[in-house]
Structures are given as C-alpha cells and as structure tokens.
C-alpha cells in the first residue's frame, strides 16, 4: 500500500510552515481591508461582502489549482521566494487601484450591480491568486514521500488556517485602530517581501533533493520500487473533489449560521464577528492537524484500518455534531449559560460549545482525502492543489448559497438540518458505513435527528409567545411581537381587545426586533405614535423645515420600523421623504405587519446609504438628511467618515441640516467624540442634542444643589443613550424649532378627543399642549470629556468604529 516511511524533514518543515503562516496572515489582512478600500465606490452591504469574499475565495481556488502544477514542475525554494515577491506586488496594487479609481471616476459609468464583482475582482483577485499558489508548493517542498502526505498537508493547512486566525485578531483588535487602511496594505506587502528575503537566505541552506525520479502518471509505480498505488484510493479523482467540495460547503454554512445565532443573543459587533470567526478557524486548524495524523496512520500497511471507512465515519460524526447544535442551543438559552461572564466571554463560549467540535471534525476531511488521492510524491503538488481548490470552491458555493438562499429562504435552523443531511449522504458515497454496527448506529441517530428537525421546524411560524412573524433575511433575524400598553388620553379602544375584561383600557403595540435589538415600537392603528424620543427631535426639525417650504424634501437613511415616515406623513403634511433601507425584507415586514402604507410623497429605496447619497441623491435638493442607521453596537463605519459627510453636504440645500443618530455614553464612549470632530471638518455648526434633559451648563454654587448636580451629572454621563448630532452651516435655532412646534395643529388622533368625549362638552375638548423634546447638551458640559480625550477624525482611510466602541461593549452586562 506504500513505501516505508521516510523521516520528516523537520528543519525544512519549520521554515516552510513559517512562510505559509505569514503569507496567510498577510492575506487575511488584505481581505479585511478590502471592504474599506472599496466602500466609497460600491458601499458596504451583503453584496459587497459576498463579492469580496467570493473573489478572494475564487483567487484561492484558482491559485491552488494552478499552484499544484507549479509545485510539481518547480519544487524549489526559489519558487516560494518568487511567489512571495509577487504577492507583495499584488498587495501594493490594492493601495494603488482605489487612488486611480477616485481620480478617474470610471466606476460611476458601471451600474452598481455589476460594479461590485468587477471592482472586487480587479482589486482582490491578484493577491488571492498569487498568495494561494504557495500552499501546494509548500506541501511539495515539505513532503519526503507519499506515506507522509497526510501529516505534511494537514500541517500546512493547519498553519495556513492559524495564520488567518492570527491575522484576523491582530488586524481587528490592534492594527485597524493604529494605522490607516493604506498603511495596513503596506504592512502586508512588507511582511510578504520580508518573508521572501528571509526565505531566500534560510531555505537556500536546505537545497532541493537531487536526482528525484521523474514524475509518473497517477497510479503508476517506478521501476524496481515498491508499489505506491493506494489500494483504498478513489477510483475516480472527481469523487475526492466532490467530497471536499461538499464538506467545505457545509463548513461555510455552519460559519454563517454561527454568526446569525450569536447576533440573536449578543448583537453584531467587531467582538461577535471575531469571536465566531476565531472559533471556526481554531476548529479548522485543529482538524487539519489531527486529520493529517489520522490519514497517515490508517493508510500504513498492516494498520488494520480501512481508510475509506474512517473517512466515512468522520463525515457521519461531523453530521451528528452538526445536528446536535439544534439540541444544545435551546439548553444554552434556557439555562442562561455564561450569563454571569462578560459579553466577550459569552460570545466565545457560545461559539465554542456550539460550533468548535463540528468544525474540527470537518477540518480532518481534506488531509485524508489528499492522502487517499495522492498516488506518489511526484504528483503531490498537483493533487493537493486541486483538492484544496475544490475545497475552496465549495466554500464559495456555501457562502453564496447560505447567505442568499438558505438562511433567508429556510431559516437558520433548517440550514443546519440541510448541512447535516448533506454530510450524512456524502458519507454513504465514501464507504459502506452501514456495514459497521457502531457507524450504523451513529448514522441512524443523525438521520433521525434530520427527520425530527424537519418535522419540528416544518411550518414553524412563531418562536415565542405573542410573535406575529419571524423571518431570516440576508441581514437580520426579523421578529415582530406584540405587547399591551395602557390607552393614552383620547385613544380609541382597540377592537382586537374589546370584550376581554383583562385587557380593557389597553392597546396593542408591535415591536420590531432585528436580531436581539428592539429596533422600533409601532402602533399600527395610530401612525403618530412615537416610542423612541429621538424621533420626536427629528419631527421637530421636519416642522421647522416646513415653515419655509410647504413641501420640504427629506432623506432618511435607515427605515427600521418606518415609524418616522408614518408619523411625518400625518404630522408634517406635504413632506416629501426618500427612505433608504438596506434590507428589503425589513421594508416588506413594515408594509405587511407594521401599518406602513404607500404614499405619493414617500419613496422606498433598498440600497446602501452611502451609494444613494453619492450617486442617486440630487445635489442641493434636501432640506434635511436624517441618518438613523445604528444597530445596537454596530455602526456602519463608511457612513461616519469625512468623505461621506462631504457627500451629505452636497446633497443638502445651503441652509439644510444633517441629523446623525448615535447610541453612546458621554463618559465612556468614543464614537460621539469622533463623530462630532469629523462633522466639524465639513459643517460650521455641530451640536449634541438629547431628548431628555441634560445637566445644566453651570454647576450650582449652593453646596447641596451642587451635590445633587454632581450625582445627576455622573449618572447621566455614564449611561448609554440615544443622541442626535446636529450638523449644518446654519446655526442651531432652538427658539425657531420650539415656535414651529407650538404653531402646529395638535397631532391626530392621539391628542384629539373621541366622539364620546366630544358629547361631554367643552371641558372634554381641551387639547393638551404639544411637548417640545429637542435639548442641546451645552458645550461646557462636554468640555471636560473632550479635554480628557478629543475625538479622532474619521476618514475612508482611518475609521476604527468598532474599536472606538470597545470600551462601551466591554462594560455592557458586566
């Protein structure tokens, strides 16, 4: 079944392994910064991310496929050196291309749909392709003979995954807040060039083996040598490709499902993404290493193992661990697992408990398939490259299929069930696992879990009591739930609750939850109902805009529950409002369940807000631009930069205003400081507004009053709340806002008396005063915080928003 094992060349493996580790770390840095480099030209949404990730994976697949040929033809350290230098040049191209694009404006002539893959391919494909040529070359250089194929390929894959893991963490947590985006590109290019120089010096000390036998056709034996044909090998190499393709497909489905599960309970942030990706990469890394050891041991002559049966058994085990996620998750939820730990610990532990084991088992598949597919050492580069290429192609298919179809069409739980079923079916094509009693028992449990999961989730319409609808979109888990609230003065009784003495005096409200965040609370029957008070500030600015124009134009970025558009159509008649919401399913839910109606003055647009402002919005056309696109601890960085603010200003009329909604803590937060400092680079007047009363501008002289002031000041500044930042070339006119509010007709129907009250006489017809909500936080109140730590200027090259939110994130739930 193979020639006797040659000792592994440890010194050479250490050097080659370090090259692979550093090259993949650099590749991950480039992948993370690619979205920031392209955001000004294609926005930052699902299509952008999938386009960039898809192009990088395509480059990796092509690089591995073609790199196998290079490895077999040029198995020399000089090949590594040349590829590393080529990777450094490809990295530098990523800094040059956006500059050329901005200078020429060529991207504006391409429609946004095709523009995303075209620009992503031009920017990312060279680096992905060149750096991926290294993997099969490294395996070839580190392989003493075919009997070590599993260990060597598993080690190289493990080190490449570890490089990605370290690159992910170091870039996200340390490099992004320290360097501009172009500087990170230069760091990656320098790392590759430095590795090339070191490889030239060090690896030259261990020259390639001389007088190697000439390459043979796969399956042929060298004359006079022991047979090298693997009796357990696949009869058709395409079978091997199919196995790794489907295993990687399921692995990517698990990764996307993991991100959705974590978002439901812990929100979306830098920490949630890095936690999930880190655990998945760690599982893959361990699996690659262990899988290589397993592959070589079970393929030894006289080992007593059937390698195909071992591979099939591990696929069944991966399926069993995958379906177990559906059992483990409710246990974690109901038991409030890790609830006393910090949020970062919770994210990592949830990800580890649910997904580490299945990813680790899936990681063992590729090294075993390569070991079964490699006929001799002469062809290891080509076979390993092609197997890894097909594995990457499976990851590409898994990314697009899961992101665009499975999660939005089936839901996250059913996506897990589909992945389990695929793994079980693949195992049946690898070996007759039903002939082994243990594997047959495990397979029966897996298939039973799939059947039970289908039965339990089929036709599932609600996840919790009072749930009206639950849908997985390409961006969120969207849930609409109901709750009761006492009737306000003048509210008509809710027909749904009539006749029930327990609900007399109440009305039904609908909550829109995006992942775990309560995003909006809507009164379907009363469009003027506003739950979040910062929207009252927005309404007051709409009223002021209408004083000078009977039909003011307003742009709202972030639709959410569409409470502001519904209220505006009633409270500020004549307002023309364009609403840009990135998730079309959120808009659909608003129309179906949240009382949103078509209106001639209301236009819906489903696209990235930056692309709308930069390319769709007419210059000088809006009296007011309102940005309400925050989602708990996730703030779109490309909507916070100076370049974006400049684009907003071009869309505004000369005396127009920009209202930016943020959620932050004045004492501990850094986002409000950065946002105000950045806006001051574009607009003459920038002020922080609050809907609740902020501390007075001056501290009282009386000791008792001063002590009360200090206590209230400390409580107010430490709390995390919603603020609105006013930015305009026109001074803030609070008196004009208040006058505009006092001049309006009281809002119907909440403040109008019922017909029954009207019959009671003039006393019942008294209309309450319309409250005024906009309050400016005095500069003197903010001054000590800004003196201690001024805000950084956010640009397209430097916008570490997630890092700026880190302190607030760490303090949450602690």
* Catalytic residue list: 628
Task: Give the chain's end-to-end CA distance (angstroms, integer).
Answer: 59
Residue 768 burial (CB count, 10 A): 11
Q: Could you please report the per-residue DSSP string of 492-539?
A: PPPGGGTT-GGGTTEEEEEEEEETTEEEEEE-TT-TT---STHHHHHH
- What is the C-alpha to C-alpha distance for residues 662 and 656, in angstroms, rounded to an integer? 20
d(C-alpha 626, C-alpha 617), whole Å: 13
- Spatial distance between the Cα atoms of 332 and 149, rounded to a whole number of angstroms: 40
Q: In this structure, is the dihedral angle defined by the CA atoms of residues 501, 507, 512 and 518, taken in order, positive or negative?
A: negative
CA distance 427 to 310: 10
506-514 and 576-580 beta bridge pairing? unpaired
Q: Helices marked H in 488-612 — which ranges?
A: 534-547, 563-571, 584-593, 609-611
How is residue 605 annotated by DSSP?
E
Q: Is 668 helix (H, G, I), strand (E, B) or coil?
A: coil
Residue corresponding to tokens 């649910």: 354
User: Contact at 8 Å (CB) between 545 and 523?
Assistant: no
Contact 700, 706 (CB under 8 A): yes
For 438, residues 6+ apart whose C-beta sits below 8 A from its C-beta are none
d(CA 666, CA 659): 18
Beta-strand relationship, 652-665 and 506-514:
unpaired
Specify the pairing of strand 467-472 against strand 477-486: antiparallel
Nearest to 484 by CA among 505, 467, 506, 504: 506
Would the CA dihedral through 462, 463, 467, 473 be positive or negative?
negative
Question: Looking up tokens 């999660």, which residue turns up?
Answer: 407
Please report where in the chains the tokens 């039970």 appear, as a residue.
452
Reported as half-sphere exposure (CB side, CA atoms, 13 A), residue 79 has a value of: 24
**Rounded distance between C-alpha atoms, residue 611 and residue 626, angstroms:** 15
Torsion angles phi and psi, residue 780, rounded to 5:
-65, -30
Say if residues 685 and 731 touch (Cβ distance below 8 Å): yes
Q: 728 to each of 224, 660, 763, how far by Cα in Å?
A: 85, 11, 44
3-state secondary structure of 507: strand
Give the max Cα distance, the chain. Answer: 113
Structure tokens that stand for 356 in this block: 């580490």
The kind and range of the H/E element at 467 are: strand 467-472
Buried b (16+ CB within 10 A) or exposed e, 426-454: bbeebbebeebeebeebbeebbebbeebe
Q: Are 349 and 338 in contact (CB under 8 A)?
A: yes
Listed residue (397, 394, 318) closest to 356, CA to CA: 318
- In terms of Cα–Cα distance, which of 476, 653, 621 is closest to 560? 476
C-alpha–C-alpha distance, residues 549 and 621, integer Å: 12
SS3 468: strand
Judge whether 83 and 130 are in contact, CB under 8 Å.
Answer: yes
């Amino acid at each position: 079944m193979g020639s006797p094992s040659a000792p592994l060349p440890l010194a050479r493996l250490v050097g080659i392994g370090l090259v692979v580790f550093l090259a993949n770390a650099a590749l991950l840095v480039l992948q993370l910064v690619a979205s920031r480099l392209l955001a000004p030209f294609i926005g930052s949404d699902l299509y952008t991310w999938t386009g960039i990730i898809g192009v990088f994976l395509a480059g990796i697949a092509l690089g591995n496929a073609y790199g196998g040929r290079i490895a077999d033809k040029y198995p020399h350290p000089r090949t590594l050196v040349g590829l590393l230098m080529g990777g450094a040049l490809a990295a530098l191209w990523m800094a040059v291309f956006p500059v050329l694009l901005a200078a020429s404006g060529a991207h504006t002539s391409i429609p946004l749909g095709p523009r995303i893959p075209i620009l992503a391919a031009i920017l990312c494909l060279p680096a992905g392709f060149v750096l991926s040529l290294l993997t099969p070359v490294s395996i070839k250089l580190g392989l003493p003979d075919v009997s070590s194929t599993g260990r060597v390929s598993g080690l190289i894959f493990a080190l490449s995954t570890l490089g990605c893991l370290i690159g992910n963490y170091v870039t996200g947590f340390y490099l992004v807040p320290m360097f501009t985006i172009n500087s990170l590109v230069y760091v990656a290019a320098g790392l590759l060039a430095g590795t090339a120089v070191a490889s030239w010096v060090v690896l030259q000390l261990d020259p390639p083996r001389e007088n190697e036998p000439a390459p043979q056709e796969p399956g042929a034996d060298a004359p006079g040598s022991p047979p090298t044909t693997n009796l357990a090998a696949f009869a058709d190499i395409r079978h091997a490709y199919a196995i790794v393709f489907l295993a990687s497909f399921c692995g990517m489905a698990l990764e996307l499902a993991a991100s959705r599960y974590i978002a439901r309970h812990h929100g979306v942030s830098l920490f949630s993404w890095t936690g999930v990706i880190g655990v998945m990469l760690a599982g893959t890394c361990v699996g690659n290493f262990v899988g290589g050891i397993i592959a070589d041991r079970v393929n030894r002559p006289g080992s007593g193992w059937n390698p195909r049966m071992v591979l099939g058994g591990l696929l069944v085990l991966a399926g069993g661990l995958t379906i177990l996620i559906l059992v483990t998750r409710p246990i974690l939820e109901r038991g409030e697992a890790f609830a006393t730990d910090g949020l970062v610990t919770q994210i990592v532990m949830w990800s580890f408990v649910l997904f580490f084991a299945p990813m680790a088992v899936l990681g063992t598949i590729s090294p075993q398939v390569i070991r079964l597919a490699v006929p001799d050492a002469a062809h290891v580069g080509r076979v390993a490259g092609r197997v890894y290429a097909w594995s990457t192609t499976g990851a590409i298919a898994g990314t697009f299929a899961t992101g665009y179809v499975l999660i939005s069409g089936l839901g996250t739980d059913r996506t897990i069930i589909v992945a389990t079923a695929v793994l079980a079916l693949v195992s049946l094509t690898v070996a007759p696992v039903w002939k082994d009693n243990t594997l047959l028992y495990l397979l029966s449990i897996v298939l039973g879990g799939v059947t039970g999961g289908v039965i339990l989730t089929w036709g599932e319409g609600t996840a919790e009591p009072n749930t009206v609808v639950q849908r997985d979109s390409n961006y969120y888990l969207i849930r609409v739930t109901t709750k009761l609230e006492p009737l306000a003065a003048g509210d008509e009784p809710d027909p749904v609750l009539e006749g029930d003495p327990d609900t007399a005096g109440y009305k039904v409200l609908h909550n829109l939850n995006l992942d775990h965040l309560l995003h909006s609370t809507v009164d379907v029957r009363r469009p003027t109902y506003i739950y979040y008070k910062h929207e009252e500030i927005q309404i007051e600015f709409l009223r002021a805009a209408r004083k000078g124009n009977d039909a003011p134009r307003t742009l709202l970025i972030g639709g959410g529950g569409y409470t502001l558009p519904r209220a505006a159509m009633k409270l500020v008649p004549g307002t023309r409002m364009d609403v840009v919401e990135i998730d079309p399913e959120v808009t659909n839910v608003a129309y179906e369940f949240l009382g949103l109606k078509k209106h001639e003055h209301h236009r819906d647009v489903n696209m990235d807000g930056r692309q709308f402002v930069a390319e769709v919005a007419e210059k000088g056309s809006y009296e007011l631009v309102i940005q309400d696109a925050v989602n708990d601890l996730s703030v779109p960085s490309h909507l916070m930069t100076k370049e974006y603010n400049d684009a907003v200003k071009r869309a505004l009329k000369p005396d127009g205003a920009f209202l930016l909604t943020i959620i932050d803590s004045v004492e501990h937060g850094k986002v409000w400081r950065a946002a105000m400092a950045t806006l001051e680079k574009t607009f003459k007047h920038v002020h922080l507004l609050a809907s609740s009363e902020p501390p007075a501008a001056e501290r009282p002289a009386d000791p008792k009053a001063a002590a009360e002031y200090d206590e209230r000041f400390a409580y107010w500044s430490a709390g995390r709340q919603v603020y609105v930042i006013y930015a305009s070339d026109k001074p803030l006119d609070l008196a004009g806002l208040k006058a505009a509010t006092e001049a309006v007709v009281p809002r119907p129907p909440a403040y109008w008396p019922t017909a029954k009250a009207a019959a009671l006489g003039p006393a019942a017809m008294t209309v309450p005063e319309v409250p005024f909500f906009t309050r400016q936080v005095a500069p003197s109140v903010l001054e000590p915080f800004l003196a201690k730590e001024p805000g950084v200027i956010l640009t397209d090259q430097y916008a570490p928003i997630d890092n700026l939110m880190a302190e607030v994130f760490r303090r949450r739930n602690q």
